[in-house]
Structure 1
Amino acid sequence: MSSFYKQETPSPAPPPLNGISNAESLQFDLNIIREATNDFSDSNKLGQGGFGVVYTGTLANGQAVAVKRPYVDLGQGNQEFKNEVLLVARLQHRNLVRLLGFCLEGRERLLIYEFVPNSSLDHFIYDPVRRSQLGWQRRQKIIGGIARGLLYLHEDSQLRIIHRDLKASNILLDTEMNPKISDFGTARLFAVDQTQDATSRVVGTYGYMAPEYAMHGLFSVKSNVFSFGVLLLEIISGKKSSRFCNGNTTEGLLSYVRKYLSITLLSLKNFRERVADTNSNESWREGTPSDLIDPNLVDGSRTEMLRCVHVGLLCVQEIEADRPTMGTVVLMLSSYSTTLPLPSRPAFILPSIPEFDTAPQVMVTHSNRSEDREIQESVNEASITELYPR
């Protein structure tokens, strides 16, 4: 295991493209941002995360913006800021949030983004009332948009980007409910021929992290695929990845998934035939994959929903090599003539635990010696708790 724990090397130098190389064209004056956000008024606060606060604002020309203000006292604040600017300024895709500029004055490190009006995905899928606003067609569109955004990051952009913190709160929704991947503060840039890397500083969110990353610090495009699979299952089921109430206990989503697969003795062996023969109105017996579907999804094709469940299960397989690429995922979601393989067991099968109000969340820095581990508390749910190999 120690071979995976090495000092995190700097990302490869980005190619000399227009944008951040001409940083002056993207730089905002601090006074302009103060005026736009009413001097960072609490009434303008949109949200708060592990690395900073986000404010809404209006520029003098009437354009609505979102301003991310990182915490200046975090040890990694400057590095996260530089990382996000270098990466996001080069990324142009309809399913990625667009960086408009930045501000560097004194202790202020500000990022100015396009304003995405419908907040983030977690405000919908975790809320029993708002979740009803997401019918099957909207959820399909959200799933497909996230998949295409990740495919762009992995294969189609001039840079290969590993996000490392893909989760519902980092998916923003525009006026048409199109998804936009946001928050690249912990993203890593890969060289063109690079397939994986390892880090001594594991950051991310509990419940979304691939086992090889959480336990060994090893990350790749397949660790993003795992996170996407968890997110897809959340969208379909309406349940939180890390914990949700199930009777008198709380349990993780993948544990819940595994339980239903066990009940049917992994009867996904007959899953493809069932889906092929099932119409949208047929009821499925208890203990089948349809139990993973949000009861709010009363309209829409059951076949399409169950196929999405199947794709999600393929993405969260424990063994990295078994997971599909995002290119394959996009194909499986868009082409119903593609036969899907049977998934192996999901990773992170955790026991149910008594329900409590808040889960302890920490950010962990690994070193080569276990006694040198440094644990830093996070200000919210945004960072990963430390996990050990089984």
Structure 2
Amino acid sequence: MGNTAVVVGGGIGGLAAAIGLHRMGWDVTILERSPVLEDAGAGISLAANGLRALDELGVGGAVRDASRGQYTGGTRTPRGGWLARMDGSALERAVGTPIMGIPRSTLHRLLREHLPAGSLEVDTEVTAVEQVGPGTVRVDCGTKALEADLVVAADGIGSAVRSRVLPGHPGPVYSGSTVLRAITEHAVDVRADFELTWGRGAEFGHIAFLDGRAEWHAVLGLPAGTRFADPLSELRRRFRTWHDPVLALLDATRPEAVLHHDVNELRTPLPAYTVGRIALLGDAAHAMTPNLGQGACQALEDAVTLAAALGAESTVEAALVRYDAERRPRSQAVAGAARQAGRMGQQLSHPLAVALRNTAMRLTPSRAATRMILRHHAWVPPSLN
């Protein structure tokens, strides 16, 4: 088996894949088209499955040290009533860890610090990927070309590699929701580690960080491409009657810190995650809505599973068959569950439907809710040792 790989994309999935491959003895080059390393962005929640993947990559301890456990909070109504309370301690007893909140930029930095020196090339756009022989893939980027035994396409939801190797796939579609988010400029007394609030066709939530700051997000059911001249003023107007600390979070945010993105997804599942010696990973393979907080966790699962398969099988081809068989059913099932969660959450707008949903949530025992969470969190990674 050869041992040279090119990873296209320097996001969470791409960096994790590179670390995993390196741990298995591969020489890895990561090509990132952005000229600036991704130290921007908002926050992220990491569930037990993502943290276990990070443990196998040797990054878990550093990530935990930089994260805040989510023990308190839950889901509320705009007036502040509770639909469901979080029991982070019960979750920790069940899977060994609470969900952890961390700034995305911090996670990126910690992953980059575990890369082999000189392996990450920024400001490098891939223009073509082609299998030129039974065991060789050529990657064209700018004025040069690289040849590798394996290419990992981790270039996001708009993956150019995916569109080349699976030209018949329709690609990403708009989910019906748009999201605004930011990290506060200073510490805010949010009281709960994590909260979601569901209104009619709208959601507001926050993740508290170790340093007292918090990430907030606002999800709105609006036509794709909707943008606001003054996003913070618009959100203050829309959420002016919602419970604390919604307005406090908005008031603690600099206008230029607000990010606004439409939520897109790969609604049509891919027929395969591999084509020849090219493997699709993360959002390039299974971009999903954020309603279960599993997007990054699934990418981390992909990375560890791919590295382990390459270490266990005698050929790249056999390893990629194994990777596809292990990752495609699970990740596509999680994507479907996330889509359904969105339909039952923020996307509901009819008053009767919202009332029925709220009643059902209030009547659901906490143990039953924990069991539902464990379906996605209780994943055990293959060993990279």
Regarding TM over 0.5, the answer is: no
User: TM-score scaled by structure 1?
Assistant: 0.28
Higher relative contact order (CA 8 A, sep 6+): 2
User: TM-score scaled by structure 2?
Assistant: 0.29
More strand by share: 2
